[in-house]
Amino acid sequence: MSVDSDPAGPADQTPTGESALALTRRARRMARLLQERYPDAHCELDFEDAFQLLVATVLSAQTTDVRVNGVTPTLFARFPDAHALATADRAEVEAIIQPTGFFRAKTESLLKLGAALVERFEGQVPARLTDLVTLPGVGRKTANVVLGNAFDVPGITVDTHVGRLARRFGWTDAEDPVAVEHAVGALFPRREWTQLSHVLIFHGRRTCHARKPACGACPVARLCPAYGVGETDPVAAAALVRTAPRA
């Protein structure tokens, strides 16, 4: 991988040693190439409204979107809104969401979430980050998912995939999710943040895996400082690429 140098000045304390301008240019080229690879990148949680997306995102912790999508139709048919969830029977909720793992803790969060929405927001999901993060079980990651996909408010969702790729790409060396969010956000126009998150998550799930990335089948290999940490042989790498998220 060759990192472009910027003749305008010295490196500005970026993780790769390139100037801030060069880093921004490289990051945006990478994003364009990834968008070409994943033109249909989107939120892979099934939902019909902000309430459903909020609940599904809370359930997605420590599990896959596929498993969450497997339980939410039953959950929402039984508890279609915050008022119903706030008065739900704990054992019934636990039985429905058990396949997602940590079902007792998640049930506790969902019951408290429903109650908080009813008591403080008249049963409606608020459309501001400062309000969302005050809700039980909701952090910045969940809030940005809801804002970007239910309210069209741009946000960067720093899950494990986005954090891993941002560091591998040399966009940041931060480990703290909030620091990653701000560092990545500084490289791109605000209007692109939500779609950028989708593209990075798609790439992380399908190609740039945590344990064995498919470097030889990666569309941004020539721009990536981490090229070579995974399989570089094109044929072997292609076999590692997933066409769908893990179940």
Residues involved in catalysis: 141, 159
Tell me the residue ranges of DSSP E strands in the chain: none
Would you give the DSSP letter of residue 4? Answer: P
Alpha-carbon distances, residue 181 vs 98, 156, 162, 169 (angstroms) = 31, 6, 9, 14
Written as six digits, the tokens of 41 are: 């990148």
Give the span between the Cα atoms of 198 and 222, in whole angstroms: 22
Q: Quick check: helix, strand or coil at residue 54? A: helix
Question: Under a CB-based contact definition with an 8 Å cutoff, are residues 155 and 144 in contact?
Answer: yes
- Phi, psi at residue 195, to the nearest 5°? -65, -35
Instruction: Give which of 54, 60, 71 is closest to 117, Cα–Cα.
Output: 54
Give the span between the Cα atoms of 157 and 24, in whole angstroms: 19
- Phi, psi at residue 207, to the nearest 5°? -130, -55
